[in-house]
């Protein structure tokens, strides 16, 4: 009896090892042809890569996608719930978003991303567009709602400009266009660029971004277009934006006096304003500097804005907007950003040169007098403090 049981056991054991051997043989012989097995392994390798890139530490996360992990989580959540971005069988939302941000942050070629994320070129560009569109859908949420400088403001840079909503400026971003269209996009320096109108709040958040003008378009023309189109830039009566000397001083847009000292550097050498107009320009320049910083930080963060892109113009216009929206998400008021320090050594582009007279909208006596009044108040205060 015992012998029989031992025999059965031996037989069972033998059968088991045979089955195991068969499985091993099948597995070893053609592991790549077991579709669901390969997929799962692959999937886990990709998740592991993503964990190393994003979730292992804030420092690596910032280096890879220019934001900390908490912001990344928040962004993924918003894109999922509001932007309508969906996980697919092949890629979860966080990997789609990480890939998109990595492209904006480093502006590497599709080929490099293929290697880093283990995806095909076609997959990468398909998901890039999906995440881009989802990001643009967050626009009304992420764009800053303008708030006027209050009567009782004690911000040393902004208190002079009661009712002001922020600063407005045109800037150039290098783009790639088909040879046939190059002429239209060539700027005076010979670069192929697009003219982007941007509007920032006093705390350095984007209120409005309007890209996509051929560079040969003047700042004034771009502004006129931006203010007249539906859903364009609105400036309520009694409010205004600071603009540079490239624009004319007219209702809703407060410009510095032409032909006077203006740039911050002019004042750093200990020069003191001698007239009300100089005083006005000094204060104007100090406040408007926020927009230069804002764009400086933006370009530092997203390498894709620093060199001619590999993408067609229509897509470029959309991702320029996306970069600005992400900027607002990453930089809520008062948060320290590692890029602030780098900015000090970053060469901020010079403002529009003064020799291009632009008359976008009508200048009026009322508005001219309004500027004169502010200038006189400033100078009276300046003299009193001296
Ligand atoms: C993204 O949006 C643009 C413009 O609305 C549209 O033409 C394009 O088909 C969309 N792309 C995807 C992948 O949804």
pLDDT digits (tens, 9 = 90+) for 63-122: 999 999 999 999 999 999 999 999 998 899 999 999 999 999 998 888 888 888 888 888
Cβ-based burial of 259 (10 A; exposed 0-12, middle 13-18, buried ≥19): exposed
Name the closest-CA residue to atom 2, ligand 1. 133
Same domain flag for 275 and 225? yes
Q: Compute, in angstroms, the gap from residue 270 CA to the centroid of ligand 1.
A: 53
d(CA 332, CA 312): 31
Q: Which residues contact 144 (CB under 8 A, 6 or more apart)?
A: 201, 205, 206, 207, 328
Q: Compute, in angstroms, the gap from residue 60 CA to the centroid of ligand 1.
A: 31
Same domain flag for 197 and 288? yes
26 inside domain: no
Closest atom of ligand 1 to CA, residue 126: 13
Which residue range forms the structural domain that includes residue 131?
37-137
64 inside domain: yes
Same domain flag for 56 and 152? no
Phi and psi torsions of 283, nearest 5°? -70, -35
For residue 160, pLDDT over 90 is answered with yes
Same domain flag for 229 and 308? yes
For residue 22, pLDDT over 50 is answered with no
- Count: domains in the chain: 2
pTM: 0.80
> By percentage, how much of the chain surpasses pLDDT 90?
41
Q: Compute, in angstroms, the gap from residue 136 CA to the centroid of ligand 1.
A: 10
Mean pLDDT of 321-328: 95
Name the closest-CA residue to atom 6, ligand 1. 133
Most confident of the following: 195-199, 360-364, 377-381: 377-381
Most confident of the following: 35-39, 75-79, 257-261, 303-307: 75-79
The first and second tokens of residue 265, run together, are 């550097």
d(CA 347, CA 295): 11
Q: Of the residues 137, 158, 175, which one is the last residue of a structural domain?
A: 137
Same domain flag for 53 and 171? no
The separation between the first and the last C-alpha atoms of the chain, rounded to the nearest angstrom, is: 114
Q: Of the residues 115, 137, 159, which one is the last residue of a structural domain?
A: 137
Same domain flag for 230 and 122? no
Residue to mutate (ligand 1; options 83, 100, 129, 313; most atoms within 8 A of CB): 129
Least confident of 100-104, 263-267, 357-361: 357-361
Least confident of 135-144, 256-265, 358-367: 358-367
Same domain flag for 205 and 342? yes
Same domain flag for 268 and 345? yes
């Amino acid at each position: 009896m015992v012998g029989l049981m031992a025999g059965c056991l031996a037989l069972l054991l033998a059968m088991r090892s045979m089955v195991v051997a068969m499985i091993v043989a099948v597995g070893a012989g053609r592991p790549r042809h077991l579709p669901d097995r390969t997929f799962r392994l692959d999937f886990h390798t990709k998740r592991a890569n993503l964990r190393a890139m994003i979730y292992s530490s804030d420092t690596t996360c910032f280096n890879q996608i220019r934001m900390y992990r908490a912001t990344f989580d928040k962004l993924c959540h918003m894109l999922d719930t509001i932007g309508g971005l969906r996980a697919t069988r092949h890629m979860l939302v966080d990997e789609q978003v990480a890939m998109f941000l990595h492209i904006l942050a480093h502006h590497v070629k599709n080929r490099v991303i293929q290697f880093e994320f283990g995806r095909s070129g076609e997959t990468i560009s398909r998901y890039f567009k999906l995440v881009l569109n989802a990001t643009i859908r967050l626009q009304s949420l992420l764009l800053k709602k303008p708030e006027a400088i209050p009567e009782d403001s004690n911000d040393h840079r902004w208190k002079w400009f009661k009712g002001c909503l922020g600063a407005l400026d045109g800037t150039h971003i290098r783009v790639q266009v088909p040879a046939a269209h190059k002429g239209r996009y060539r700027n005076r320096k010979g670069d192929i660029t697009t003219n982007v109108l941007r509007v920032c709040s006093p705390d350095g958040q984007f209120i409005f971004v309007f890209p996509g003008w051929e560079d040969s378009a003047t700042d004034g023309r771009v502004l006129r277009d931006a203010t007249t189109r539906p859903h364009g830039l609105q400036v309520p009566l009694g409010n205004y934006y600071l603009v540079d000397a490239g624009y004319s001083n007219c209702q809703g847009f407060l410009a510095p006096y032409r032909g006077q000292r203006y740039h911050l550097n002019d004042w750093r050498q200990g020069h003191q304003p001698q007239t009300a107009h100089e005083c006005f320009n000094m204060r104007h320049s100090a406040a408007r500097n926020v927009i230069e910083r804002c764009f400086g930080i933006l370009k530092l963060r997203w390498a894709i804005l620093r060199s001619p892109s590999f993408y067609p113009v229509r897509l470029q216009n959309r991702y320029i907007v996306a970069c600005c929206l992400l900027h607002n998400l990453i930089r809520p008021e008062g948060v320290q950003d590692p890029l602030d320090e780098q900015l000090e050594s970053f060469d901020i582009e010079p403002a529009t040169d003064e020799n291009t007279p632009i008359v976008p909208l009508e200048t009026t006596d009322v508005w001219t007098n309004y500027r004169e009044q502010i200038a006189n108040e400033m100078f009276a205060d300046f003299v009193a403090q001296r």
